[in-house]
Chains A and B, each alone.
Chain A
């Protein structure tokens, strides 16, 4: 027989007390697990949305001259005509170590063009990648299929009286409008979009690129690191990571995460108190038994080991139970409360963490009762003497 057998046999005998202690811990762990799983899901959800929001990296030529706004971001005015990037630079992007994290690369050629006495910003784009990048675009019409077809921003269309089927002259080329871009409140409303290669041809700028928008998959990759790697291969370019509204939502998630931690701490503290009072009661009930152990020569350390072994066994059960219930709660509650689009993931490390946390709380809360038990005077504890 070992000390652990004494602990195990005692737990089997005092099932009510053991159950109370397990439940006390399990409630705390359930709360922690559920909140952690939900905030983890929210974070993952935001990261997915970050990808959906479009470009999160913008590459423009380095310039210190006047600037114009594009897409809510600042680009150099001089960048329209000088210091351009090239098609070769676009190819270099795929040589960075994190290239597998680049989901969309959308190069653009920008130029101010006179159309019907108006200066219009013309953007040469690769429509396939552009439409993938800008999932919020709503085209009234169809996507361009030929290189002489164009998409016109709502404000440009309105200003120049353009509609589907209209022809528009850009440089030495003529383009047919096949879609009007529904107004979306961005700079895109003021732009005429034509095919990138056609733009280079009609504007006489072969191989030129004014800027590159990049969407990187950020769920597992550090955007800042990708930015550094792009800067390394394109030293002549200015590379910026975009944050915008998603960052705000991420901050909200972080706030929720901090609140979750605080709430978890409070609930765990209460769980710890339940363990403490239950263990104190158990020690009080077992005074004679502990007195006997001391009388037959058990050291105080042996008594502490028996009680902490009991606490550890119950903590493991409480931790596992708390993890299971917490995950179930997260699966049920996450879609409703958090409005997250992605499923709660069953992270095995969360189970390890839950059991570890239950052990820490259970053992810490049992330490005082265990030390008290070890200090019991055998003569007083046995009473009969």
Chain B
């Protein structure tokens, strides 16, 4: 499903070139659950954004589902993100003035579908993450775990083939974090491909494969026995 070939990313910071990724080769299969681990500055988040068609690599080739998103014009890249990728951010980035339902509806706002179908999809996604009955609450009226679930519902509502998560349990206590991970495992079992950045070995243990990064290179991979 995902193929990265010799992907390098160099950031320019105050005239100094910083190598975030160095010639990374990676293959992720359809329906796989991958955890990206590594110390800060190892390139995990950069890799995640490159997979999400948000951050073009300096060199190298990225192919997702047979498409090279970075060869598309900018507006078509946005369309690609809309269709192929669901993002869950560490800070959640929920829109504070929109309700749970409206936050989840957000990706569907620009979809050409009947209003009732959109509503049905959004409510189904909210039910799926266990937040049924809280559709009309504002993010500020939810716990951290609930906010994480809203973010996951928003990422799933458009049924993208790829779910990308950046430290999904980073701001949660261990119990709430464990529940969120249960949800992700459940989604993955239902066929959803998941790529997750985490520092937490317990969280990473939920994934089928753990990829360790250091200094922009893949240091090693561990596949969990099925």
Q: Could you say which residues of chain B place their CB within 8 Å of the CB of A13?
A: 96-97
Q: Residue on B with the closest CB to A5?
A: B102
Q: How far apart are B80's CB and chain A's nearest CB, in angstroms?
A: 8
> Given that A1-B105, A384-B166, A385-B48 are contacting pairs, would A300 and B93 also be in contact in the complex, using a CB cutoff of 8 Å?
no
Question: A298-321 vs B: 1/0 string, CB under 8 Å?
Answer: 111110000000000000000000
Q: Are B87 and A296 in contact, with the CB atoms below 8 A?
A: yes
> Given that A10-B97, A292-B95, A384-B90 are contacting pairs, would A300 and B54 also be in contact in the complex, using a CB cutoff of 8 Å?
no
Q: Residue on A with the closest CB to B75?
A: A299
Q: A379 contacts the other chain (Cβ, under 8 Å)? A: yes
Q: A297 contacts the other chain (Cβ, under 8 Å)? A: yes
Q: Are B79 and A297 in contact, with the CB atoms below 8 A?
A: yes
Chain A CB within 10 Å, residue with most, of B79, B90, B110, B118: B110
In the assembly, what is the distance between CA of A330 and CA of B137, in Å?
A: 48
> Given that A12-B97, A292-B95 are contacting pairs, would A385 and B82 also be in contact in the complex, using a CB cutoff of 8 Å?
no
List residues of A (175-234) whose CB comes within 8 Å of B's CBs.
none
Q: Could you say which residues of chain B place their CB within 8 Å of the CB of A292?
A: 89, 93, 95
Q: Are A385 and B89 in contact, with the CB atoms below 8 A?
A: yes
Q: Are B55 and A379 in contact, with the CB atoms below 8 A?
A: yes
Chain B CB within 10 Å, residue with most, of A296, A298, A299: A296
Q: How far apart are A258's CB and chain B's nearest CB, in angstroms?
A: 46
Q: Are B97 and A300 in contact, with the CB atoms below 8 A?
A: no
Chain B CB within 10 Å, residue with most, of A5, A6, A291, A292: A292
Q: B74 contacts the other chain (Cβ, under 8 Å)? A: yes
How many A residues, CB 8 Å from partner? 28
List residues of B (118-169) whose CB comes within 8 Å of A's CBs.
118, 154, 158, 166
List residues of A (1-38) whose CB comes within 8 Å of B's CBs.
1-3, 5-6, 9-10, 12-13
Cβ 8 A contact of B107, one of A6, A296, A385: A296
Secondary structure at chain B's binding surface: helix, strand, loop or mixed? Answer: helix
Q: B7 contacts the other chain (Cβ, under 8 Å)? A: no
> Given that A1-B102, A292-B93, A378-B54 are contacting pairs, would A385 and B45 also be in contact in the complex, using a CB cutoff of 8 Å?
yes
Q: Could you say which residues of chain A place their CB within 8 Å of the CB of B78?
A: 294, 297-300
Q: Could you say which residues of chain A place their CB within 8 Å of the CB of B196?
A: none
Q: Could you say which residues of chain B place their CB within 8 Å of the CB of A266?
A: none
Q: Are B97 and A295 in contact, with the CB atoms below 8 A?
A: no
Q: How far apart are A294's CB and chain B's nearest CB, in angstroms?
A: 7
Q: Residue on A with the closest CB to B78?
A: A299
Residues in chain B within 8 A of chain A (CB atoms): 45, 48-49, 52, 54-55, 74-75, 78-83, 85, 87, 89-91, 93, 95-98, 102, 105-110, 118, 154, 158, 166
Using A298-B109, A384-B93, A385-B49 as known contacts, list a sample of 10 further A-B pairs with CB atoms less than 8 Å apart, ordered by residue number in A: A2-B109, A6-B98, A6-B109, A288-B93, A295-B81, A297-B83, A298-B82, A301-B75, A382-B89, A382-B93
